[in-house]
Amino acid sequence: MSRQDPPIEPLGAETVYDGKQFSVRVGRFRHADGEEVEREFVHRVPAAVIVAYDDEHVWLVRQPREVILQYTLELPAGKLDVEGETPLQTAQRELAEETGCAAERWEEVRSYYPSSGYTDELVHVFAATGLHPTDAEPDPGERIEVVHWPLADLDAALAATNDAKTVIGLQWLRAIL
C-alpha cells in the first residue's frame, strides 16, 4: 500500500481444484530478502457492488444464501464474468438486472479484498444516483426481492444485514448523508 513496502514476487501457481465458481491454487511467492513462501488460495473473478439511492431510499435485495442457510439483505452486486466488461459496466448491468433501474451519476466509492489471507477476490463499490426505470424488464431471479429501504433508518438496515459488502456500503452511505 505504501512506497516503502518491499516487493512480493509471484513465482507461479498450480491449480489444484478447478470449480464452477472459483478455483483453488497453490502459489509460491518470494519476499525481497529472498525468503520463499507457499500459499493456498481461492482464485475468483472480481465483483462490483452498487449503493443506489435517491432522496429517501437505498435499493437493497433480499435473497437466499444457501451456503449459510439464510436469507440475507444485500446491496445489488454481481461478478465481472462478462469478457471485456469494466467494473463500472458490470455495476450498471447488475443494477438494471436486479432492480430495473439505470443511474445518471456513478461514483467509485472504494475497492476492498473480502479475505486477502486466502482469496484474491477484489470487490469494487460504486455509488449510483439520479435513478430512473429502464425499458428492460428487471430479472432479479425468482427468489430475489427488491427492498426500498428508508435512508432515515440506515441503522436498522445495518443491524439487519450480515453481509460484508452491504455493511461497507451502508456505513459509507450513513457517513456521507
Interaction pattern, residues 125-164, with a copy of itself; x per rule: CB under 8 A: ------------------x----------------xxxxx
- The span from the CA of 20 to the CA of 169, in Å, is 27
Verify binding: residue 42, a copy of itself, rule CB under 8 A.
Answer: yes
- The span from the CA of 122 to the CA of 172, in Å, is 18
Three-state secondary structure call for residue 150: strand
CB 99, CB 149: distance < 8 Å: no
- The span from the CA of 93 to the CA of 155, in Å, is 28
Verify binding: residue 67, a copy of itself, rule CB under 8 A.
Answer: yes
Residues 8, 152, 156, 177: which binds a copy of itself (CB under 8 A)? 8
DSSP secondary structure, 49-68, as one string: EEEEB-SSEEEEEEEEEGGG
Give least dist CB 34 to a copy of itself, A.
Answer: 13
- The span from the CA of 147 to the CA of 61, in Å, is 5
Give least dist CB 166 to a copy of itself, A.
Answer: 9
Verify binding: residue 40, a copy of itself, rule CB under 8 A.
Answer: yes
Verify binding: residue 171, a copy of itself, rule CB under 8 A.
Answer: yes
Verify binding: residue 109, a copy of itself, rule CB under 8 A.
Answer: no
Give least dist CB 135 to a copy of itself, A.
Answer: 29
Residues 14, 31, 93, 140: which binds a copy of itself (CB under 8 A)? 31
